[in-house]
Amino acid sequence: MSVQWLHATILPVPNPPEQNPILVSLGQQLFHDERLSGDRTVSCATCHALETGGMDREKVSTGIGGKKGVIRAPSVFNSHLNHTQFWDGRVKTLEAQVDGPLHDALEMASNWPLVIGRLNADPQVRSDFKKVFNEELNPEQVRIALAAFQRTLMLTNSPFDRWLAGDMEAITAQQKNGFRLFQEYGCISCHQGANVGGNMFARMGSLESFTLFKSADMERVSLGRYNVTGNRKHLYVFKVPGLRTAALNHYFFHDSSANSLEEAVEIMARVQLGRHLTRDQAQDIAEFIRSLLGEHPMLKQVLSD
């Protein structure tokens, strides 16, 4: 076992938990099934395309009828590692998360009676669910199947994880320096663990106001956990995002207000840590973050484009 691994605040991404393969297959099918949306035009994969990182990489997502959302869609890869789901952390489990987009008028605009009716009309789906649950198809089974599939979406064997395990050549000198700066400047105080984030809440703009709101709708979602709890102490508090897929983003933060990884690093250093980075420092940290990206058979996107 590597000495680096023993002393690291960042841990390697674990392998997915073992699960019933029939259940996982059902969840994968449902993840791509447009019957879950009210007008049969949108699936989970519409906003969370696995080939390009488990997200649509747009400023905001487009739901049924061309309706635009009000917040950036995060990646579903490694979501199993998050301590809560959604930017504001309003639910704790992947199962509970399913109801949010399914009922949202800007996303799927659907409901459970409609979805269950459609799935029950499919003899194969009905038969497959019977094999796992041995009871009539119901919403909880759909939630369990979707969550089971999402738990398989783990990005493993990243260059940085290989370096943690002892492969000294797995990352570049620039990435090693970026990791050093990431630790010394304090980024690691919020971004740690296997997902390099996703395990705590933090205020957006701890040392400097973050007010890059784009519209009245965006201003509301930028209130963060306050919208969940009503507690003014939770104004602008969000779940700290994991950085494992940050290298694939086209836009950054909940409001898509940063257009590059380097820009996002510079903004976070300033508003969270009170540090003004040089261009070289921001680039080195960004290169370290790129080394965090792991592998999955369904992830086809490459960093170069």
Triad 86, 91, 95: Cα angle to 5°:
100
Q: What are the distances in angstroms from CA 142 to CA 128, 146, 148?
A: 12, 6, 10
Tokens representing 238? 């969000």
Q: Which amino acid is at 16?
A: P
Distance from the Cα of residue 292 to its chain's centroid = 14
What pLDDT is attached to residue 1? 46
Neighbours of 136 (CB within 10 A): 11
Mean pLDDT of 124-133: 94
Among 176, 220, 271, residue whose Cα is nearest residue 87: 220
* Residue numbers annotated as active site: 107
Calculate the alpha carbon distances from 18 to 15, 23, 54, 295 in Å: 9, 11, 21, 18
pTM of the model: 0.93
Burial 79-92 (b: 16+ CB within 10 A, else e): bbbbebbbbbbbbe
Average pLDDT of the segment spanning 68-79 = 95
- Which pLDDT score, from 0 to 100, does residue 213 have? 46
Choose between 6 and 66: higher pLDDT.
66
Q: Virtual CA dihedral for 74, 79, 81, 85, nearest 10 degrees?
A: 70
Segment 74-84 shows an average pLDDT of 97
Percentage of the chain lying above the pLDDT 70 cut:
93
Tell me, what's the pLDDT at 212?
55
**Residue 65 scores a pLDDT above 70:** yes
Average the pLDDT over each of 102-106, 174-178, 196-200, 206-210 and give the range with the smallest value. 206-210
pLDDT for 3: 47
- Whether the pLDDT of residue 126 is over 70: the answer is yes
Crossing angle (nearest 10°) for helices 139-150 and 112-120: 80
- Reported residue count of the chain is 305
Q: How confident is the model at residue 90 (pLDDT cuts 50, 70, 90)?
A: very high
